Amino acid sequence: MSNEQSKPLPRRKFLAGAGAAAAGAATMGFPMIARSQSPIVLKMQGAWGAKDIFNEMAQEYVKRVNDMAGGRLRIDYLLTGSVVKTFQEMDAVSKGVLDAAHSVPVYWYGKSKVASLFGSGPINGCDAHQTLAWIYRGGGLQLYNELLAKLNLDVVGFFAMPMPTQPLGWFKKAIKDASELKGLKYRTVGLAADLFQEMGAKVTQLPGGEIMPALEKGVIDAFEFNNPTSDMRFGAQDVIKNYMMGSYHQAMEFFEILFNKQKWNTIPKDLQAILQYGVEAASSSNWWTAMDNYSRDLEILKDKHKVNVIRTPKSVMAEQLKAWDVLTKRLSDEDPFFAKVVESQRAWAKRVAYYMFVNEADYHLGYEHIFKTKLPA
């Protein structure tokens, strides 16, 4: 060691060096503590009245997203009317008034009747489960995005919850023949409105929350909404006692979950994935919730409220199919894009529904065997 190296360091330099070394040791010994960031908050409005089970289904989606996002993103869910009225959700999301919405495409089919094909439209042989598969595997989502672009709607949309067939509805006098629909003041929405008009009914399109007031005022004589639980919560059983099950007017519908596209593009990719795949998780959860509630509430309607639960006659359904034929041809002739979507659905249905029909067990026969009960034909 040289004399220069052996000289002691001045006190000031020694302390400075020691401080730097200590700081380095601290950095090596303790993890960095990240500053907490405020979560991304998405304001989502549902299209459903306060008592509707559809709010519970929307919240099943919200809970799954919020739980998976780990505090980095949060959806705040609002009831219909909190920001905009029912039927206005699509415009509100597109314009950024809302960040997101939980609704159905038939609520904005006034912009294009094609919209109803992504929620419920002409029967093609598939049920809702198989049609939802068309959305995600058969090219449906690409056609949906093409429609959004045509209409300049600035949204990203996904689909969830293959809904059970919707009942023909509630009638003061049971419908025994399709001719009895002529002149009837009836509530439905989307292309189903066109269908029943084709069959001679006088159709009024109303949000769910306006159905009972319209019925009490005589604006409508009969209505359909969606399912036994929603209908019972409306109080339909207190006014009408004939509930007709089975119909082709809305036999393959699902929820539409919307996001403003500009807002969507600011969200990190991993959180986008949670929002997207949360839809798939909620789809299963919604179905389970539906099976539990719809079946139990149908029994309550029958046993407690003495509602006449009636299977819609096949003759009425046959007339619906004929009306769909006329309506589908007319709308396809008027709009090539409508025809394009219908053709895509039918090509899918021809293959997928055929597989299901030739492969499915006869559950109808199995039910009658186990429970020794003859089901309605």
pLDDT digits (tens, 9 = 90+) for 319-345: 999 999 999 999 999 999 999 999 999
| Residue-level pLDDT at 36 | 56
Task: Report whether pLDDT(33) > 80.
Answer: no
Q: Is residue 280 part of a domain?
A: yes
The number of CA neighbours under 13 Å toward the Cβ of 113 is 21
Distances (CA, A) of 153 to 94, 328, 371: 6, 25, 51
Q: CB of 117 within 8 A of CB of 125? A: no
Distances (CA, A) of 215 to 185, 219, 350, 357: 10, 6, 40, 39
| Residue-level pLDDT at 5 | 42
| Residue-level pLDDT at 320 | 97
Q: CB of 195 within 8 A of CB of 117? A: no
pLDDT band at 53 (very low <50, low <70, confident <90, very high): very high
β-pairing verdict for 255-260 and 155-160: antiparallel
pLDDT band at 311 (very low <50, low <70, confident <90, very high): very high
Work out the average pLDDT over 255-275.
98
pLDDT band at 282 (very low <50, low <70, confident <90, very high): very high
| Residue-level pLDDT at 316 | 97
pLDDT band at 34 (very low <50, low <70, confident <90, very high): very low
Q: Is residue 120 part of a domain?
A: yes
Q: Is residue 89 part of a domain?
A: yes
Reduce the secondary structure of 97-116 to three states and give it as a string: CCCEEEECHHHHCCCCHHHH
d(CA 128, CA 164): 7
Task: Report whether pLDDT(246) > 70.
Answer: yes
pLDDT band at 291 (very low <50, low <70, confident <90, very high): very high
d(CA 18, CA 181): 93
| Residue-level pLDDT at 214 | 93
Going through the chain in order, the beta strands assigned E by DSSP cover 40-46, 73-78, 100-103, 155-160, 169-171, 185-187, 202-204, 222-223, 242-245, 255-260, 308-311
Task: Report whether pLDDT(269) > 80.
Answer: yes
Work out the average pLDDT over 246-274.
97
Task: Report whether pLDDT(183) > 90.
Answer: yes
And the tokens for 100? 């997101």
CA angle 120, 123, 128 (to 5 degrees): 55
| Residue-level pLDDT at 377 | 76
What is the number of structural domains in the chain? 1
| Residue-level pLDDT at 126 | 93
| Residue-level pLDDT at 207 | 87
d(CA 239, CA 251): 25
Q: Is residue 199 part of a domain?
A: no
What is the phi-psi region of residue 235: left when phi exceeds 0, alpha when psi lies from -120 to 50, beta otherwise? left
And the tokens for 250? 């809305």
**pLDDT: which is higher, 322 or 207:** 322
d(CA 22, CA 33): 18
* CATH code: domain of residue 98: 3.40.190.170
β-pairing verdict for 222-223 and 40-46: unpaired
Lowest mean pLDDT among 36-40, 175-179, 264-268: 36-40
Q: CB of 122 within 8 A of CB of 328? A: yes
Lowest mean pLDDT among 13-22, 62-71, 310-319, 320-329: 13-22
| Residue-level pLDDT at 3 | 42
Task: Report whether pLDDT(349) > 80.
Answer: yes
For residue 138, the enclosing domain spans 40-162+252-292
Q: What is the secondary structure of 182-243 as a DSSP string?
A: TT-EEE--THHHHHHHHTT-EEE---GGGHHHHHHTTS-SEE--S-HHHHHHHTGGGT--EE
Query: Which residue in the block uniquely carries the two structure tokens 């895509």?
Result: 344
- Cβ partners under 8 Å of residue 181, min gap 6: 175, 196, 199, 200, 201, 316
Q: Which residues pair with 46 in a beta bridge?
A: 102
Q: In what order do the strands lie in the sheet with 73-78?
A: 73-78, 40-46, 100-103, 255-260, 155-160
pLDDT band at 208 (very low <50, low <70, confident <90, very high): confident
Q: What percent of the chain has pLDDT over 70?
A: 90
